[in-house]
Chain A
């Protein structure tokens, strides 16, 4: 906790985006998390991504569950819509909001406890339904808010701060996301913003279920020797498959790149992702290959990061339901209550 408020002054030559905002305009309240928490770096990355995309803050709905991670929605985008739901229930609240107003940008922020323990079912269904959202899991392997019990993503054999060993198998949310049909799946490390920021930008632009699992060390309860989610451990075992160098909006790409070492992904909305390959044989379009790759490296104790899978033709829940293409709050009474003749017709079709 910090007692003074963050001063309003900012660097005189801070860049402005197309809306005339600096990154400071995307901040929220001062974080109340422990100093050094990885979650704060993810907050900073979300701020940077929204700034760079020149997103209007009031077009964003940030929705979370319960946990230190879920608290962070208060620390960015002060001028956005927000909903702090109950533990593990972020996905259903987000799904409902998305159904009602498909025009907003949905940012789901959750923790490993929130998503992999109590909220595992919710997580799974949001993924398989293809809700158009950016789902960020701030993954520290513990229940930070309740003082550091192992969560369901804690690796088997890893040690708690008090020296206890975790004997349960770990849930890998990335593997689950792939298996459940998420159309954009990435993993990143809170300690590497150059990797994380473009991944968030691309996820926001992606028109489908986008999952980013961000390993985020808990400095208070899970940053000791024996932990597999500490700064040191993640830095030592990080295997980046690619670097997402930049994504351009509709503007042409004017950076020369070597086609052998890069992969260009056209997104549905015309924006493009340029992936610089680190693992030469890695194909981010191959879902089954990705699952294999992941399992293979996990067995070697490596943490695969980068854009692991992307479907350039994603489908989302609205398409599956064939819903009206406007937010419900813009529909008039006439459209919402089409009258008894229409009702009669529907009833007749069900007889």
Chain B
């Protein structure tokens, strides 16, 4: 293998598994260390810069970072990255002084944003401080999009939404609520320099089976029902409720039902329990509230009497795999089951709908009737129109909407400044050695053996009485602090200098994880098998350094390195050093960046 190019910005970024996995590339270990140091406001600002909604995401994020977290490979469970974000938000001081101010001098460019969800809000936040005049249109009266209309209050209090949407709207952004855009052509005709479409995926999928029309009064489309609950238009449901579907909408529907009079609430899915779209913790939360999840049941018919729903008939299926390993659900042969109920909530998926976008304004649509969107620049085929969030590639989640928003804002900025939007700047990387003395490091390199701490919950009886009572109480300071100690500081990188190495093996001998090997060079597959501990995780890179005196190579498997720095402590010549790599993604709001990056 050739020398690893550690100067390439992605190499060490990938080692920070959580940050790499985060769509917005939040510098996770950096904010966790700040929390550990009691610097909650600083930790909040590191988050705010990257992911815009720390308080909201600290309660609701889909957390792609956690399955990626190295701690999960070293022991059982990842660091509670998401809930630590909430700790930063809960314990911060008033941070309004640290936020960018509305631009005093406008740059004369006008941007229209359709939809007031996280995608549009991110675009506006990045652009407004630079002098852009941003106008957000939403059919709903308040900003937040599905964060406000879909996510139930027992998971996310409205005060948090108000606070974090407020930080953005206070940047001098015009929010036009209660206004639906019915024609993009007309909007473009108003002479905006760019239009961002962040209208989400607002249509819930229908279930057209016999009895649907007859029993319609008691069959509700999940996302419509949730927004009605959210706006207070609906405040009760029948005693026996069936929720169809296995994604996060289904989980929010069933738990909301439990709080609105549902006593016997069931979730029923076509697939197996394991393949459900909902995250493991969402399923856990539902089951904790006495909601059983029944699987391999396909709804066949709604039964009704005198125009009133009486139940649902299901066919029992089983999974079979074809030669290509694809799963098919086939009848199991067991008799159909009739499950009686008073109400059904249909939560089997969401779709995009763009009836308000004319097809003759230069925006091409594909065969699934989705706009053609560039995955890097988020430009459509009309150079002035950009898409992001659920509107771009179908329903995802908040953090993806934020990530899209940052990229789209960068494109819009470049477009308006007459630059090439395809020329994307590299992230900014700051590299600092952590060495303070022979055995002293400016980070806490001792490894805590603690298992993952659980977030305390409100008493179930109390929680189920009030749909607005937040279930999770958040970590208190003591638990939060303990949880921070589980982070392995994966951004404190082991950096090797061949020229200094005398091949004494001290680092090899001390490394608790058998990461380091000195051996004859070879092809990657061959090397992976020959290391002190076999490097079977192909998603993790090998760090290879040539130019050793004996002609061998140093190979470090990044997979389960604890970043404990013992290699650097034991090295007699300083050939290993522990260096902090602070990777800062490029956003449109350069102003924001220079002001907030150096919290550390």
Known pairs A43-B509, A44-B509, A231-B504; list 10 more (Cβ under 8 Å).
A1-B439, A3-B439, A9-B449, A10-B514, A36-B506, A41-B504, A41-B506, A41-B509, A191-B503, A191-B505
Whether A14 and B449, one on each chain, are in contact in the complex, defined by CB atoms closer than 8 angstroms, is no
**A86 contacts chain B at the CB level, 8 A cutoff:** no
Contacts of B569 in A (CB 8 A): 2, 35
Say yes or no: A7-B564 contact (C-beta < 8 A), given A36-B502, A36-B504.
yes
CA distance A154 to B123 in the complex (A): 73
Contacts of A231 in B (CB 8 A): 502-504
Question: What would 27 A/B residue contacts be, using CB atoms closer than 8 Å?
Answer: A2-B439, A2-B570, A3-B439, A4-B446, A4-B447, A4-B566, A9-B74, A9-B449, A9-B562, A10-B512, A10-B514, A11-B515, A13-B533, A13-B536, A24-B512, A31-B510, A35-B571, A36-B504, A36-B570, A36-B572, A36-B573, A44-B509, A191-B504, A191-B505, A217-B504, A219-B504, A219-B572
CA distance A217 to B505 in the complex (A): 12
**B534 contacts chain A at the CB level, 8 A cutoff:** yes
Whether B564 and A4, one on each chain, are in contact in the complex, defined by CB atoms closer than 8 angstroms, is yes
Near A by CB (< 8 A), chain B positions 512-566 give: 512-515, 533-534, 536, 549-550, 560, 562, 564, 566
Whether B572 and A40, one on each chain, are in contact in the complex, defined by CB atoms closer than 8 angstroms, is no
Whether A34 and B572, one on each chain, are in contact in the complex, defined by CB atoms closer than 8 angstroms, is yes
Closest 9 CB pairs of A and B: A36-B572, A7-B447, A11-B533, A44-B509, A36-B504, A4-B446, A35-B570, A36-B506, A35-B572
CA distance A55 to B17 in the complex (A): 39
Whether B449 and A11, one on each chain, are in contact in the complex, defined by CB atoms closer than 8 angstroms, is no
Whether B566 and A14, one on each chain, are in contact in the complex, defined by CB atoms closer than 8 angstroms, is no
Contacts of A7 in B (CB 8 A): 447, 449, 512, 562, 564
**B75 contacts chain A at the CB level, 8 A cutoff:** yes
Near B by CB (< 8 A), chain A positions 185-200 give: 190-191, 193
Whether A13 and B509, one on each chain, are in contact in the complex, defined by CB atoms closer than 8 angstroms, is no
Partner of A6, one of B74, B506, B512, B573: B512
CA distance A24 to B509 in the complex (A): 11
**Interface range on chain B (Cβ under 8 Å from partner):** 20 to 34
With most chain A CB atoms within 10 A of its CB, the pick from B509, B510, B515, B573 is: B509
Contacts of A191 in B (CB 8 A): 503-505
B446's nearest neighbour on chain A, judged by CB, is: A4
Query: Mask for A2-44, Cβ within 8 A of B = 1, else 0?
Result: 1111111111111000000000100000110011111011011
**B498 contacts chain A at the CB level, 8 A cutoff:** no
**A235 contacts chain B at the CB level, 8 A cutoff:** yes
Whether B505 and A41, one on each chain, are in contact in the complex, defined by CB atoms closer than 8 angstroms, is yes
Whether B73 and A40, one on each chain, are in contact in the complex, defined by CB atoms closer than 8 angstroms, is no
**B445 contacts chain A at the CB level, 8 A cutoff:** yes
With most chain B CB atoms within 10 A of its CB, the pick from A11, A40, A232 is: A11
CA distance A30 to B511 in the complex (A): 11
Near A by CB (< 8 A), chain B positions 398-447 give: 439, 445-447
Contacts of B560 in A (CB 8 A): 9, 11-12
How many A residues have CB within 8 A of the partner chain?
35
Interface class of chain B by DSSP: loop
CA distance A27 to B513 in the complex (A): 13
Contacts of B549 in A (CB 8 A): 232, 235
Contacts of A193 in B (CB 8 A): 505
CA distance A219 to B501 in the complex (A): 13
Near A by CB (< 8 A), chain B positions 200-249 give: none
Contacts of A9 in B (CB 8 A): 74-75, 447, 449, 512-513, 560, 562
Whether A11 and B570, one on each chain, are in contact in the complex, defined by CB atoms closer than 8 angstroms, is no
Partner of A10, one of B513, B564, B566, B572: B513
B225 to A: closest C-beta gap in Å: 45
A6 to B: closest C-beta gap in Å: 5
Contacts of A6 in B (CB 8 A): 510, 512, 566
B151 to A: closest C-beta gap in Å: 36
Whether B514 and A14, one on each chain, are in contact in the complex, defined by CB atoms closer than 8 angstroms, is yes
Near A by CB (< 8 A), chain B positions 470-511 give: 502-506, 508-510
Contacts of A8 in B (CB 8 A): 449, 512
B76 to A: closest C-beta gap in Å: 11
B27 to A: closest C-beta gap in Å: 24
CA distance A2 to B570 in the complex (A): 8
Query: Mask for A308-348, Cβ within 8 A of B = 1, else 0?
Result: 00000000000000000000000000000000000000000
Contacts of B446 in A (CB 8 A): 4-5
CA distance A235 to B447 in the complex (A): 36
Near B by CB (< 8 A), chain A positions 112-144 give: none
A297 to B: closest C-beta gap in Å: 21
CA distance A41 to B510 in the complex (A): 10
B569's nearest neighbour on chain A, judged by CB, is: A2
A3's nearest neighbour on chain B, judged by CB, is: B439
Contacts of A36 in B (CB 8 A): 502, 504, 506, 570-573
A193's nearest neighbour on chain B, judged by CB, is: B505
Query: Mask for A252-288, Cβ within 8 A of B = 1, else 0?
Result: 0000000000000000000000000000000000000
Contacts of A217 in B (CB 8 A): 504
Contacts of A12 in B (CB 8 A): 73-74, 560
CA distance A44 to B439 in the complex (A): 22
Contacts of A3 in B (CB 8 A): 439
CA distance A24 to B511 in the complex (A): 11
Contacts of A44 in B (CB 8 A): 505, 508-509
B527 to A: closest C-beta gap in Å: 16
Near A by CB (< 8 A), chain B positions 3-19 give: none
Contacts of A35 in B (CB 8 A): 506, 569-572
B221 to A: closest C-beta gap in Å: 45
A294 to B: closest C-beta gap in Å: 25
CA distance A36 to B503 in the complex (A): 9
CA distance A6 to B506 in the complex (A): 14
Whether B566 and A2, one on each chain, are in contact in the complex, defined by CB atoms closer than 8 angstroms, is yes
CA distance A36 to B513 in the complex (A): 18
With most chain A CB atoms within 10 A of its CB, the pick from B74, B445, B502, B573 is: B502
Contacts of A10 in B (CB 8 A): 512-514
CA distance A10 to B514 in the complex (A): 8
B268 to A: closest C-beta gap in Å: 37
Whether A38 and B513, one on each chain, are in contact in the complex, defined by CB atoms closer than 8 angstroms, is no
Contacts of A30 in B (CB 8 A): 510
B577 to A: closest C-beta gap in Å: 14
B434 to A: closest C-beta gap in Å: 14
Say yes or no: A37-B513 contact (C-beta < 8 A), given A1-B439, A7-B447, A11-B533.
no
CA distance A12 to B561 in the complex (A): 11
CA distance A14 to B513 in the complex (A): 9
CA distance A5 to B445 in the complex (A): 10
Partner of A40, one of B506, B514, B573: B506
Contacts of B73 in A (CB 8 A): 12
A28 to B: closest C-beta gap in Å: 12
CA distance A24 to B562 in the complex (A): 16
Query: Mask for A28-67, Cβ within 8 A of B = 1, else 0?
Result: 0011001111101101100000000000000000000000
Say yes or no: A40-B509 contact (C-beta < 8 A), given A4-B564, A11-B533, A13-B534.
yes
CA distance A203 to B233 in the complex (A): 84
CA distance A43 to B533 in the complex (A): 19
Contacts of B515 in A (CB 8 A): 11
With most chain B CB atoms within 10 A of its CB, the pick from A35, A43, A190 is: A35
Say yes or no: A4-B505 contact (C-beta < 8 A), given A9-B512, A10-B512, A11-B513.
no
CA distance A3 to B446 in the complex (A): 9
B575 to A: closest C-beta gap in Å: 10
CA distance A238 to B524 in the complex (A): 30
CA distance A169 to B355 in the complex (A): 97
B572's nearest neighbour on chain A, judged by CB, is: A36
A220's nearest neighbour on chain B, judged by CB, is: B572
Say yes or no: A37-B506 contact (C-beta < 8 A), given A2-B566, A9-B74, A10-B514.
yes
Whether A14 and B502, one on each chain, are in contact in the complex, defined by CB atoms closer than 8 angstroms, is no
CA distance A3 to B570 in the complex (A): 11
B553 to A: closest C-beta gap in Å: 15
CA distance A241 to B503 in the complex (A): 23
Contacts of A24 in B (CB 8 A): 512
